[in-house]
Amino acid sequence: MHPRISIGIIGTGWVGASVAISVLQAGAAQELILFDARDGLAEGEAMDLAHGASFYPSATVRAGSLAEMQDTQAIVITAGKNGAPGQSRLDLLRDNLAILRGIALQLRGYTGIVVIVSNPIDVLVYDFTQASGLPPERVIGTGTMLDTTRLRQILGQRLALDPRSIHAQVLGEHGDSEAVLWSGAEVGGVPLRSWPGWQRADEAQIALQVRRAAYEIIQRKGATNHAIGLVTAHLLHGMLRDERRVLTVTRVQTGALGLFGVALSLPTVVGAGGALQVLEPALEADERTALLRSAEVLRAAIASVDF
């Protein structure tokens, strides 16, 4: 008999709530445990979500403590402050670092997978891995999965195609130094740069649109939450079913493309054991330069705080 799939979510603000409803609708968990530092919030969200049980695959939803999450297969961390208009993800570093370090200490000895969604995600994944003592493959972040789906949506509009038919990736930091892998983008085996009417001159503007997407949303509604909720549910569903999908998640790198001592997103085989195998995509010279620059931005951010 298969064990009951249980997922914990730490932080039930806008993002945590969107992750919760997306996880339930995806059927990724049979039990969902919610925790928030604010009294009553997790319990209220659990009650609200439970009332919709007729409309998602069978699952129980309840509030619980961090100690109760020790038996889950995965814990999602969305706790922390959201970005304010005009604020970069790295600007959030010190506030959210303190919050996640406290959580890491309480999760020492945890045997499941920790999925970090809070920003700045790459630096938080690096620090959480150090503070928790968990192996790198079991502390992963959604990374550039969201940037990648934004890129595919924009390309889908341009090409009049379903985004799911477009294979293109964003690598590096989930932030301003991210790099689009244009040379590897394709549609049905046809390189994007060979697509009728494609103009390389448009690539820089599209990449900027992807980078600026979160800022544009935050300026209008105060936070980004729905797309990242769907991204996280997609990650959890495939991971806990051990589907071994290739996803652009962030984890501490241990040698892929010569990268060490930094967490950033590369195409990675994700399965029941976490971020298992980091792939090394073919990169053109300018793409390799951009990726290495992204790594240096993140190393500088890591060095700016006391580890």
Catalytic residues: 174
What are the Cα distances from residue 101, in Å, to 65, 78, 117, 298? 17, 13, 14, 18
Where do we find the tokens 């040698």? 255
Identify the three-state secondary structure at position 86: coil
**CA atoms of 76 and 100, how far apart (whole Å):** 12
Measured distance CA(235)–CA(28) in Å, rounded: 9
Which residues, other chains included, contact 199 with Cβ-Cβ below 8 Å and sequence gap of 6+?
A: none
Q: What are the distances in angstroms from CA 241 to CA 23, 29, 57, 282?
A: 13, 10, 15, 29
Q: Which residues pair with 114 in a beta bridge?
A: 75, 139
Measured CA angle at 301 (ends 298, 303), to 5 deg: 110
DSSP-derived 3-state class of residue 114: strand
Cα separation, 34 vs 16, in Å, equals 9
CB 117 within 8 A of CB 92: no
Cα–Cα dist 6/62, whole Å: 11
DSSP state of 5: P
- For residue 65, what are its two tokens? 């403590």
CB 42 within 8 A of CB 8: no
